[in-house]
């Protein structure tokens, strides 16, 4: 870290420049780091409002026109419907990096790497190489156990390991990965790239008949994939800067895979009288799991930032 330039904007600063947690700031960015969080809440609220408007607008359009697409228009629609929620959730996560925003190029690179790994490895492996065994419509307890086990042990572990690897074997050793919360931010970026590829594939596989569900499902999937890889990112961040033991990273991966598998199961077209699941109810339950995980990550991020600020004030 260069002590002669601002951590955020790289503007040259003098030897008396303000510092937080070892970071050097120009006057403008120091005031922003310790100042009111009003701008943060406005940005976060605007992004979430945009997500709600996106879901409502797409459903109104589909219901009013009976829109059904095929061929390249369907592919284009899939890309658009997948990118909009991913982009808005990326804004929300990026806004949490209050003290030292990560380079946008690195964030976008992690997003692209996540999408690439999903397209070239995760989707072919879970869909073609290790698909869900043929079962009789999830009508029995045994069928449900098989589907849930597949979702966790195959889909969950494959997806979460690849997102973990995207961070662990690229940015993890970079000088820009210089605080614990960076793992969450980079993990979320990889997860959102993953979600984009998964959502495009799901929309195209539906043959244009599922556009009404696509906006809500894409929004939930993006949040879920980002949050779960944010969990492994949190474990990575602590592992880099603390002595956490050999079982720490496997524990984080297992936790993320478990959450991923549960949401994958809930997002499936499940219909069983025993559990009274429907696709819409499964979507709502999946959204609940994703939101709870996201909320926990927000608490961890805010505590980390608050600790740095408190330390700076105590040393002032």
What value does the mean pLDDT of the chain take? 83
Is the separation of the CB atoms in 164 and 184 below 8 Å?
A: no
Predicted pLDDT at 192: 97
pLDDT of residue 282: 74
Q: Each residue of 71-104: pLDDT tens digit?
A: 888 889 889 999 999 999 998 888 877 667 788 8
The pLDDT tens digits for 234-266 are: 999 999 988 898 999 999 999 999 999 999 998
Measured CA distances, 122 to 37, 81, 263, 265, 294 (Å): 38, 20, 16, 16, 23
Residue 277 pLDDT: 44
Q: pTM, whole model, 2 decimals?
A: 0.85
259-309 pLDDT per residue, tens: 999 999 988 744 333 344 455 677 888 889 999 999 999 888 888 777 766
Q: What is the dihedral of CA 174, 178, 180, 184, to 10 degrees?
A: -50
């Amino acid at each position: 870290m260069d002590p002669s330039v601002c951590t955020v904007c790289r503007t040259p600063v003098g030897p008396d420049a303000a510092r937080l947690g070892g970071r050097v700031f120009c006057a403008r960015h120091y005031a922003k780091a310790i100042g009111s969080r009003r701008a943060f809440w406005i940005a976060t609220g605007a992004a979430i409002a945009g997500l709600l408007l996106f879901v409502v607008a797409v459903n109104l359009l589909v219901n009013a026109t009976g829109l059904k697409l095929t061929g390249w228009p369907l592919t284009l629609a899939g890309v658009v419907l997948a990118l909009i929620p991913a982009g808005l959730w990326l804004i929300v996560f990026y806004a949490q990096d209050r003290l030292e925003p990560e380079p946008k190029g690195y964030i976008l690179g992690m997003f692209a790497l996540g999408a690439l790994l999903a397209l070239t490895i995760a989707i072919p492996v879970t869909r073609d190489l290790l698909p869900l065994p043929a079962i009789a419509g999830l009508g029995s307890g045994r069928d449900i156990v098989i589907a849930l086990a597949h979702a966790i042990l195959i889909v969950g572990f494959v997806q979460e390991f690849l997102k973990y690897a995207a961070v662990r074997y690229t940015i993890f050793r970079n000088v820009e990965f210089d605080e614990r919360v960076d793992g969450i931010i980079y993990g979320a970026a990889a997860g959102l790239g993953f979600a984009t590829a998964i959502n495009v594939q799901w929309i195209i596989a539906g043959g244009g008949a599922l556009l009404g569900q696509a906006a809500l499902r894409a929004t939930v999937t993006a949040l879920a994939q980002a949050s779960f890889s944010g969990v492994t990112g949190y474990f990575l961040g602590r592992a880099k800067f603390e002595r956490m033991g050999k079982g720490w990273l496997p524990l984080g991966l297992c936790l993320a895979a478990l959450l991923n598998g549960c949401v994958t199961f809930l997002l499936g077209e499940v219909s069983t009288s025993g559990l009274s699941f429907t696709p819409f109810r499964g979507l709502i339950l999946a959204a609940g799991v994703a939101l709870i995980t996201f909320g926990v990550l927000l608490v961890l991020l805010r505590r980390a930032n608050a600790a740095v600020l408190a330390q700076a004030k105590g040393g002032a």
